Structure 1
Amino acid sequence: MQLIDVFNGDADGLCALHQLRLDEPADSELVTGPKRDISLLKRVKAEAGDRITVLDIALSKNRDALDRLLEAGAQVRYFDHHQPGDIPDHPHFEPHIDTDANVCTSLLVNQYVQGRQLAWAVVAAFGDNLADAARQAAVPLNRSAEQLAQLQSLGECLNYNGYGETLDDLFFDPADLYRQLRPFADPFAFIAESPAYQTLKTGYQGDMARAVAVSASEERDAGRIFMLPAEKWARRISGVFGNQLAVESPAQAHAVLTAKPEGGYVVSVRAPLAAKSGADELCSQFDSGGGRKGAAGINHLPESDLGRFIASFYTIYK
């Protein structure tokens, strides 16, 4: 019997897996990639009796591969907060799916493990730009504002590492970063002792400084659009820059378009934090687009679709 863990390479996927394996220690095959590499189940080969856990990747983008694995006799449990499409009804399928805009996958796993690894769920919620949900979940931890700020920084840095066109853009392969998290039951110990955290924090601060120097290319009362160049730092910072913009101006929607070397753009959209809706609706209008109500993206927006995207952005957010 194989044990296979399939997880998104961002803070939510990393911390979801970390919670589960702290609670259910086991060695497993790891399947992951950059945050936008969400069609991960197609890389999984499994047989009858194999056990697969899937964390923080949209079921709708993996349905054919999921059906194949279930038909092969594998058992699959699935934790996610993205729009799933039709959810299979199968004796070997165990779904834990909630698309509420204030829920992330790690908060679902936190419920599953009955709060035994709560601090890591809080880290993930901060990383997923769910600061209010993170602080609410953190109440039983009885931590100071300074300590919560440390958990927020860790979440943002883990999330930052997930963004990039390829693994070469990232500071760490998410599978390697998970292995560095694995010895630490306490996130404060990871913050204090891990060289990886210091590497990510330094990179985050440097890349963010370059991003905040960029002015909006389109700015209206309802929202702002930013264009970043086809450079590694821009690909790494695109998503967390969108998160920061949303926090700074919670009544506005934001889009960050990062140019791709071969042409076109990677797009990150953040709905107004004051009304978390519309991001998935906007991005799903375009090929390779999807996400959730509060935050969504497009993996490849052709230059020919740029005008349509801007028009759609200001149609939904007006």
Structure 2
Amino acid sequence: MHYDVFNGDADGIIALLQLRLAEPKDSTLVTGVKRDIQLLEKLKLHAGDTITALDISMEKNMGGLKVALESGVSVFYADHHKAGDVPTSDLLDAHIDLDANTCTALIIDQLLNGRFHHWAITAAYGDNLIAKADELADQAGLTSEQKSQLKELGTLINYNGYGAHITDLHFDPATLFNELLAYDDPFAVIADKSSPYHVLKMAYQEDMAKALAVNAKYQSRYLGVFELPDEAYSRRISGVYGNLLANQSPDSAHAVLTENTDGTYTVSLRAPLSNKQGAGDICSQFATGGGRAAAAGINALDKSELDTLINSIESYYR
């Protein structure tokens, strides 16, 4: 069997989209909400199986990866998150790039020699690599209107990935991937009135309006903290809302807190766009935290630890 294992956000979906547009393959799709990243350990593998793993931290999946390799499973792995010590194996084809200005879809774009370049640019916009995406779009000769369209589509696909459970999402990421696979170019998605783009656009506008009505819980020169209630819209909008805040105030860090049913917080942290480092290190100090330099999160932060988190963020960026 072949397994396509991918993060349920814009980068993971579009990375796989490029690969399967280039090389269609019967596969079992394994994905989940954006924060569901320990996916390899869910597989029941046999010698001779193959895996494509995209946009999930190798470090967080090291146990499952080692089991796969020891079981005689060939693994293609592309990612831009913390990798840890990459195993040495003839069965592993790893493409890891930790540069803060790249994403998995851009790694795949290079491997495919830009065959579906507009999709890769869309993913970069969705992963909030706005400057990089603008640069690539300009090089590709896209107009300002086309850049705006790809930015919106990338943001909407990314927005769909956020939630505590699949039921929080408008589309299961596997379903969204399959629907997008019908389009070899993102502009075709936008032009099709029956595509997921139009469903997500309306839902996004409703959720964002609610988030924008929330006042800051904490605000300083270095950090803005915003708390959203324990509601499905909060879980859906938290990540892209954090990206919006980061773009509005690029010299400040931003933390979006979403209250969980058990009273803890889910945290989405964005490093200042003018200093895209440290977010992953800060969140990794907490038991359920992790991520990359520019954007990271904590799945369950006890409210008693909030002051510690704020102090850690402020100390880092001061």
1:140 to partner: Cα distance: 4.4
Cα distance in 1 for residues equivalent to 2:102 and 2:174: 24
Give CA-to-partner distance per residue, 1:151-196, whole Å, 9 cap, x none.
0000000000000000010000000000100110011111121431
Q: Secondary structure at the match of 2:250?
A: coil
Q: What's 2:90 paired with?
A: 91
TM-score by length of 2: 0.98
Q: What's 1:137 paired with?
A: 136
Q: Is 1:215 the equivalent of 2:215?
A: yes
Q: Is 1:49 the equivalent of 2:51?
A: no
Cα distance in 1 for residues equivalent to 2:10 and 2:93: 23
User: After the TM superposition, which of the residue ranges 111-120 and 137-146 deviates more from structure 2?
Assistant: 137-146
Q: Secondary structure at the match of 2:159?
A: helix
User: After the TM superposition, which of the residue ranges 196-205 and 239-248 deviates more from structure 2?
Assistant: 196-205
1:50 to partner: Cα distance: 1.3
Q: What's 2:311 paired with?
A: 311
Whether the 8 Å contact between 1:54 and 1:77 is mirrored in structure 2 is yes
- Report runs of 4+ in structure 1 exceeding 4 Å deviation: none
Q: Is 1:29 the equivalent of 2:28?
A: yes
Whether the 8 Å contact between 1:242 and 1:268 is mirrored in structure 2 is yes
Q: Secondary structure at the match of 1:256?
A: strand
Q: Secondary structure at the match of 2:59?
A: helix
| Structure 1 residues 107-256: aligned runs within 5 Å | 107-193=106-192, 194-256=194-256
Q: Which runs of 5+ in 2 are unaligned?
A: none
Cα distance in 2 for residues equivalent to 1:255 and 1:218: 10
Cα distance in 2 for residues equivalent to 1:307 and 1:250: 23
Cα distance in 2 for residues equivalent to 1:302 and 1:204: 28
Cα distance in 2 for residues equivalent to 1:134 and 1:23: 22
Q: Secondary structure at the match of 2:113?
A: coil
Whether the 8 Å contact between 1:268 and 1:295 is mirrored in structure 2 is yes
Q: Which runs of 5+ in 1 are unaligned?
A: none
Q: What's 1:4 paired with?
A: 3
Q: What's 2:297 paired with?
A: 297
Cα distance in 2 for residues equivalent to 1:183 and 1:314: 46
Q: What's 1:63 paired with?
A: 62
Q: Secondary structure at the match of 2:77?
A: strand
Aligned residues: 317
Q: Which amino acid aligns with 1:226?
A: F
Q: What's 1:82 paired with?
A: 81
1:219 to partner: Cα distance: 0.6
1:139 to partner: Cα distance: 3.4
1:137 to partner: Cα distance: 2.0
Cα distance in 2 for residues equivalent to 1:28 and 1:137: 31
Cα distance in 2 for residues equivalent to 1:195 and 1:75: 35
Whether the 8 Å contact between 1:6 and 1:40 is mirrored in structure 2 is yes
Identity score, percent: 52
User: After the TM superposition, which of the residue ranges 212-221 and 191-200 deviates more from structure 2?
Assistant: 191-200
Cα distance in 2 for residues equivalent to 1:287 and 1:22: 38
TM-score by length of 1: 0.98
Cα distance in 1 for residues equivalent to 2:134 and 2:93: 29
